[in-house]
Amino acid sequence: MSISIDWSRLEEVVERAVRRARAEELKDIAEAIKTLAEYVKKGFDIIAEHSKVIAEHSKRIEELTKAVQEHGKILAEHSRRLEELTKEVRDLRRTVTVIAHRFGVLTEESFREAMKHVIEEVFGVAKVEKWIYNDVEGIVYGVPAVVEADLLIRDKEHILLEIKSRVSRGDVIELHNIGELYKRVTGIKPRLVIVGGFIDKGVEELAKRYGVEIIPITQF
Protein backbone atom coordinates (compact mmCIF):
# COMPACT_ATOMS: atom_id res chain seq x y z
CA MET A 1 0.00 0.00 0.00
CA SER A 2 1.51 3.28 -1.00
CA ILE A 3 0.96 6.56 0.78
CA SER A 4 0.53 9.68 -1.28
CA ILE A 5 1.57 12.99 0.36
CA ASP A 6 0.09 16.20 -0.86
CA TRP A 7 3.13 18.39 -0.44
CA SER A 8 1.39 21.56 -1.46
CA ARG A 9 -1.30 20.95 1.15
CA LEU A 10 1.34 20.25 3.79
CA GLU A 11 3.20 23.44 2.98
CA GLU A 12 -0.01 25.37 3.34
CA VAL A 13 -0.72 23.83 6.73
CA VAL A 14 2.82 24.55 7.91
CA GLU A 15 2.63 28.11 6.62
CA ARG A 16 -0.65 28.69 8.48
CA ALA A 17 0.87 27.28 11.67
CA VAL A 18 3.90 29.53 11.30
CA ARG A 19 1.71 32.57 10.69
CA ARG A 20 -0.38 31.67 13.74
CA ALA A 21 2.74 31.30 15.87
CA ARG A 22 4.10 34.59 14.64
CA ALA A 23 0.80 36.30 15.30
CA GLU A 24 0.77 34.98 18.87
CA GLU A 25 4.40 36.06 19.30
CA LEU A 26 3.71 39.50 17.89
CA LYS A 27 0.69 39.75 20.17
CA ASP A 28 2.84 38.93 23.19
CA ILE A 29 5.44 41.44 22.08
CA ALA A 30 2.75 44.08 21.59
CA GLU A 31 1.39 43.38 25.07
CA ALA A 32 4.90 43.65 26.53
CA ILE A 33 5.49 46.93 24.69
CA LYS A 34 2.15 48.25 25.92
CA THR A 35 2.99 47.28 29.51
CA LEU A 36 6.45 48.87 29.19
CA ALA A 37 4.90 52.04 27.77
CA GLU A 38 2.55 52.23 30.75
CA TYR A 39 5.50 51.87 33.16
CA VAL A 40 7.40 54.55 31.25
CA LYS A 41 4.38 56.86 31.36
CA LYS A 42 3.99 56.31 35.10
CA GLY A 43 7.71 57.05 35.51
CA PHE A 44 7.39 60.31 33.62
CA ASP A 45 4.30 61.21 35.65
CA ILE A 46 6.23 60.60 38.88
CA ILE A 47 9.18 62.65 37.59
CA ALA A 48 6.82 65.47 36.60
CA GLU A 49 5.21 65.41 40.04
CA HIS A 50 8.61 65.43 41.75
CA SER A 51 9.73 68.28 39.50
CA LYS A 52 6.63 70.23 40.52
CA VAL A 53 7.34 69.59 44.20
CA ILE A 54 11.01 70.57 43.76
CA ALA A 55 9.96 73.74 41.95
CA GLU A 56 7.59 74.61 44.81
CA HIS A 57 10.32 73.93 47.37
CA SER A 58 12.78 76.03 45.38
CA LYS A 59 10.27 78.87 45.30
CA ARG A 60 9.70 78.55 49.03
CA ILE A 61 13.44 78.46 49.71
CA GLU A 62 13.88 81.57 47.55
CA GLU A 63 11.12 83.32 49.51
CA LEU A 64 12.71 82.31 52.82
CA THR A 65 16.11 83.48 51.59
CA LYS A 66 14.66 86.87 50.69
CA ALA A 67 12.93 87.04 54.08
CA VAL A 68 16.19 86.21 55.88
CA GLN A 69 18.05 88.86 53.84
CA GLU A 70 15.35 91.40 54.66
CA HIS A 71 15.52 90.55 58.37
CA GLY A 72 19.31 90.86 58.14
CA LYS A 73 18.95 94.37 56.73
CA ILE A 74 16.49 95.27 59.48
CA LEU A 75 18.84 93.91 62.18
CA ALA A 76 21.77 95.79 60.65
CA GLU A 77 19.73 98.99 60.68
CA HIS A 78 18.70 98.38 64.30
CA SER A 79 22.34 97.75 65.25
CA ARG A 80 23.41 100.96 63.53
CA ARG A 81 20.66 102.92 65.26
CA LEU A 82 21.53 101.34 68.60
CA GLU A 83 25.17 102.41 68.16
CA GLU A 84 24.01 105.94 67.37
CA LEU A 85 21.75 106.01 70.43
CA THR A 86 24.54 104.62 72.61
CA LYS A 87 26.88 107.36 71.38
CA GLU A 88 24.20 110.02 71.92
CA VAL A 89 23.56 108.79 75.47
CA ARG A 90 27.31 108.71 76.17
CA ASP A 91 27.76 112.24 74.81
CA LEU A 92 24.77 113.46 76.79
CA ARG A 93 26.07 111.88 79.98
CA ARG A 94 29.46 113.54 79.54
CA THR A 95 27.88 116.90 78.75
CA VAL A 96 25.64 116.65 81.81
CA THR A 97 28.69 115.78 83.91
CA VAL A 98 30.51 118.88 82.68
CA ILE A 99 27.49 121.14 83.20
CA ALA A 100 26.78 119.65 86.63
CA HIS A 101 30.31 120.48 87.73
CA ARG A 102 30.11 123.91 86.13
CA PHE A 103 27.08 124.81 88.25
CA GLY A 104 28.46 123.34 91.45
CA VAL A 105 26.47 120.09 91.48
CA LEU A 106 29.69 118.07 91.23
CA THR A 107 33.03 118.83 92.89
CA GLU A 108 36.20 118.73 90.81
CA GLU A 109 37.11 115.40 92.41
CA SER A 110 33.67 113.94 91.65
CA PHE A 111 33.98 115.17 88.08
CA ARG A 112 37.36 113.48 87.69
CA GLU A 113 36.07 110.21 89.10
CA ALA A 114 33.02 110.34 86.82
CA MET A 115 35.26 110.75 83.77
CA LYS A 116 37.91 108.17 84.65
CA HIS A 117 35.97 105.19 83.33
CA VAL A 118 35.51 107.08 80.05
CA ILE A 119 39.25 107.66 79.81
CA GLU A 120 39.96 103.99 80.50
CA GLU A 121 37.54 103.01 77.74
CA VAL A 122 38.94 105.45 75.18
CA PHE A 123 42.61 104.72 75.83
CA GLY A 124 42.04 100.96 76.16
CA VAL A 125 43.57 100.46 79.59
CA ALA A 126 42.17 98.56 82.54
CA LYS A 127 42.75 101.29 85.10
CA VAL A 128 43.94 104.85 85.48
CA GLU A 129 46.71 104.79 88.09
CA LYS A 130 48.00 107.58 90.29
CA TRP A 131 51.64 108.68 90.06
CA ILE A 132 52.83 110.38 93.25
CA TYR A 133 56.30 111.80 93.79
CA ASN A 134 57.92 114.02 96.44
CA ASP A 135 59.40 116.87 94.39
CA VAL A 136 62.03 118.02 96.88
CA GLU A 137 63.79 120.11 94.20
CA GLY A 138 60.67 122.13 93.43
CA ILE A 139 60.75 121.37 89.70
CA VAL A 140 56.99 121.59 89.27
CA TYR A 141 55.90 124.43 91.56
CA GLY A 142 59.22 126.13 92.36
CA VAL A 143 59.09 124.85 95.95
CA PRO A 144 59.26 121.31 97.43
CA ALA A 145 55.88 119.61 97.11
CA VAL A 146 54.22 116.25 96.67
CA VAL A 147 53.23 115.95 93.01
CA GLU A 148 50.32 113.85 91.79
CA ALA A 149 49.18 112.97 88.28
CA ASP A 150 47.04 110.28 86.62
CA LEU A 151 49.15 107.73 84.75
CA LEU A 152 48.21 105.37 81.95
CA ILE A 153 50.62 102.82 80.50
CA ARG A 154 49.58 101.40 77.14
CA ASP A 155 51.83 99.34 74.88
CA LYS A 156 54.94 100.68 76.67
CA GLU A 157 53.68 104.25 76.13
CA HIS A 158 53.50 106.31 79.35
CA ILE A 159 50.72 108.89 79.41
CA LEU A 160 50.46 111.55 82.09
CA LEU A 161 46.86 112.65 82.17
CA GLU A 162 44.90 115.50 83.72
CA ILE A 163 41.11 115.58 83.75
CA LYS A 164 39.75 119.10 84.15
CA SER A 165 36.24 120.47 83.92
CA ARG A 166 37.87 123.73 82.85
CA VAL A 167 41.36 123.93 81.35
CA SER A 168 43.48 127.02 81.98
CA ARG A 169 46.96 128.04 80.86
CA GLY A 170 48.23 127.21 84.32
CA ASP A 171 47.05 123.61 83.89
CA VAL A 172 49.13 123.32 80.71
CA ILE A 173 52.29 124.65 82.36
CA GLU A 174 51.74 122.49 85.44
CA LEU A 175 51.39 119.27 83.39
CA HIS A 176 54.45 120.20 81.32
CA ASN A 177 56.50 120.59 84.51
CA ILE A 178 55.18 117.28 85.88
CA GLY A 179 56.24 115.67 82.60
CA GLU A 180 59.76 117.04 83.04
CA LEU A 181 59.88 115.66 86.58
CA TYR A 182 58.59 112.27 85.44
CA LYS A 183 61.23 112.09 82.72
CA ARG A 184 63.99 112.96 85.21
CA VAL A 185 62.78 110.35 87.73
CA THR A 186 61.97 107.44 85.38
CA GLY A 187 64.10 108.18 82.32
CA ILE A 188 60.96 107.93 80.17
CA LYS A 189 59.51 110.87 78.23
CA PRO A 190 55.74 110.74 78.78
CA ARG A 191 52.93 111.74 76.51
CA LEU A 192 51.07 114.67 78.09
CA VAL A 193 47.29 114.84 77.75
CA ILE A 194 44.65 117.11 79.28
CA VAL A 195 41.01 116.08 78.88
CA GLY A 196 38.75 119.04 79.53
CA GLY A 197 35.17 120.21 79.45
CA PHE A 198 35.62 123.96 78.96
CA ILE A 199 38.88 125.26 77.46
CA ASP A 200 39.95 128.83 78.14
CA LYS A 201 41.01 131.12 75.33
CA GLY A 202 44.65 130.79 74.30
CA VAL A 203 45.10 127.41 76.00
CA GLU A 204 45.42 125.38 72.80
CA GLU A 205 48.17 127.64 71.38
CA LEU A 206 50.12 127.42 74.62
CA ALA A 207 49.60 123.63 74.76
CA LYS A 208 51.15 123.21 71.30
CA ARG A 209 54.20 125.17 72.43
CA TYR A 210 54.66 122.94 75.48
CA GLY A 211 53.86 119.64 73.77
CA VAL A 212 50.61 119.05 75.64
CA GLU A 213 47.59 117.50 73.92
CA ILE A 214 44.22 119.08 74.67
CA ILE A 215 41.28 116.73 74.12
CA PRO A 216 37.77 118.15 74.60
CA ILE A 217 35.38 115.76 76.31
CA THR A 218 33.02 116.10 73.34
CA GLN A 219 35.51 114.19 71.18
CA PHE A 220 35.09 110.98 73.17
The distance of Cα 179 from the centroid of its chain, to the nearest Å, equals: 39
pLDDT at position 63 is 83
Per-residue pLDDT tens digits for 184-212: 999 999 999 998 878 888 999 999 999 99
Q: Where are the domains of the chain?
A: 1-106, 108-219
How far the first Cα of the chain sits from its last, in Å, is 137
Tell me, yes or no, if the pTM score tops 0.85: no
pLDDT at position 148 is 92
pLDDT at position 114 is 58
Q: How far is CA 94 from CA 114, 166, 219, 220, in A?
A: 9, 14, 10, 9
pLDDT at position 106 is 47
Q: Which residues pair with 160 in a beta bridge?
A: 151, 192
Give the chain's residues under pLDDT 70.
1-11, 13-14, 17-18, 21, 82, 84-126, 218-220
Q: Which CATH number applies to 108-219? A: 3.40.1350.10
> H or E segment at 28?
helix 7-102
Q: How far apart are CA 106 and CA 94, in angstroms?
A: 13
Per-residue pLDDT tens digits for 12-28: 766 776 677 677 777 77
Q: How far apart are CA 211 and CA 196, in angstroms?
A: 16
Task: Give the residue from 132, 200, 183, 197 showing the smallest Cα distance to 211.
Answer: 183
- Neighbouring CB atoms inside 10 A of 98's CB total 22
The answer to whether the beta carbons of residues 131 and 192 sit under 8 Å apart is: no
The answer to whether the beta carbons of residues 186 and 206 sit under 8 Å apart is: no
Q: How far apart are CA 85 and CA 91, in angstroms?
A: 10
